[in-house]
């Protein structure tokens, strides 16, 4: 087996494996065996953050090292380009999860994607009580943190097993992203991203024993939604903690709907 770049001249050969035509900001690697296209990997990049959009090897050619060849080529390209992290998002593919772990990815456990209409949050009794309140003591916007505070917060996020670029994502909503500090020590963080018209809570990290910190973060976040969310938008988050989900539902006074399952893998070079 060998690796080749996918371009205009050979796109048709790999079209079934790339999920269609790769966008202009994506690069694609093809896998060939005996002059036959048998797999591909498609990668997108935005502001230095690379995401593997798809990786596929035809079933009859699996377990022959093709997937490893694709990822090794990806690692080599990333290393030469100075890329530090590769991300990959998938659904319920346990075989792929095992394979990626062997390749060095740190894979988060499979979890539900939960969602709720922002209008339901804004009309809730809890929101009506919070409306107009200033963030409580120790709760700060990410955009207002000093370099030293940002580094301390990043260390906490990394130690929690999450990737390092969450604080700098291009779709981050600064007016909805908060950190909780006790003096100079970070106690929790809530990071929100905008995906089309919807709001996605990409990280809500608080020690299980510090429910008061969690409530403060959620209060500040809820009160900012009225200014940042658009009519008809949806709030989503990945549920990796049933206790956290229960706290969210109790605060909002509404039940979230499960809209799918996902897991995330991060490879740091």
pLDDT in tens, 32-53: 998 899 999 888 877 667 888 8
Residue 24 has pLDDT above 60, yes or no: no
Tell me the residue range of the domain where 206 lies: 112-260
Task: Tell me if 95 is assigned to some domain.
Answer: no
State the Cα–Cα distance between residues 152 and 1, nearest whole angstrom. 45
H/E element, 115:
strand 111-117
Residue 171, pLDDT score = 82
Task: Tell me if 172 is assigned to some domain.
Answer: yes
State the Cα–Cα distance between residues 222 and 134, nearest whole angstrom. 11
Share of the chain above pLDDT 90, in %: 19
Burial class (CB in 10 A: 0-12, 13-18, 19+), 30: buried
Residues 241 and 194 in one domain: yes
Q: Which of 11-20, 135-144, 187-196, 221-230 has the lowest mean pLDDT?
A: 11-20
Residues 178 and 245 in one domain: yes
Task: Tell me if 101 is assigned to some domain.
Answer: no
Count of CB atoms situated within 10 Å of the CB of 120: 16
Total number of domains constituting the chain: 2
Residues 73 and 119 in one domain: no
Q: What counts of helices (H) and strands (E) characterise the chain? A: 8, 13
CATH number at residue 45: 3.40.630.30
Quote the mean pLDDT of the chain: 84
State the Cα–Cα distance between residues 234 and 216, nearest whole angstrom. 22
State the Cα–Cα distance between residues 159 and 214, nearest whole angstrom. 18
Q: How far is CA 15 from the centre of its chain?
A: 27
Task: Tell me if 104 is assigned to some domain.
Answer: no
Task: Tell me if 178 is assigned to some domain.
Answer: yes
Residue 246, pLDDT score = 85
Burial class (CB in 10 A: 0-12, 13-18, 19+), 247: middle
State the Cα–Cα distance between residues 198 and 229, nearest whole angstrom. 7
State the Cα–Cα distance between residues 13 and 160, nearest whole angstrom. 42
């Amino acid at each position: 087996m060998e690796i080749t770049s996918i371009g205009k001249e050979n796109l048709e050969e790999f079209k079934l494996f790339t999920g269609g035509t790769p966008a202009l900001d994506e690069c694609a690697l093809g896998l060939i065996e005996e002059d036959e296209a048998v797999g591909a990997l498609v990668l997108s990049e935005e502001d230095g953050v690379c995401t593997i959009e798809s990786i596929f090897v035809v079933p009859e050619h699996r377990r022959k090292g093709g997937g490893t060849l694709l990822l090794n080529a990806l690692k080599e390209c990333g290393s030469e380009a100075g890329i530090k992290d590769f991300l990959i998002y998938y659904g319920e593919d346990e075989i792929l999860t095992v394979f990626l772990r062997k390749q060095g990815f740190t894979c988060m456990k499979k979890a539900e994607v939960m969602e709720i209409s922002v209008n339901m949050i804004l009309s809730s009794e809890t929101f009506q009580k919070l409306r107009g309140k200033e963030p409580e003591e120790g709760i700060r916007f990410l955009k207002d943190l000093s370099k030293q505070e940002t580094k301390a917060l990043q260390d906490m996020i990394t130690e929690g097993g999450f990737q390092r670029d969450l604080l700098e994502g291009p779709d981050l909503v600064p007016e909805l992203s908060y950190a909780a500090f006790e003096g100079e020590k970070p106690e929790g963080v809530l990071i929100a991203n905008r995906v089309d018209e919807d709001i996605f809570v990409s990280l809500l990290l608080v020690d299980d024993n510090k429910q008061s910190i969690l409530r403060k973060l959620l209060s500040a976040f809820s009160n900012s939604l009225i200014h940042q969310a658009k009519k008809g938008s949806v709030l989503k988050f990945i549920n990796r903690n049933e206790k956290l989900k229960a706290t969210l539902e109790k605060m909002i006074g509404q039940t979230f709907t499960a809209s799918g399952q996902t897991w995330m893998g991060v490879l740091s070079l």
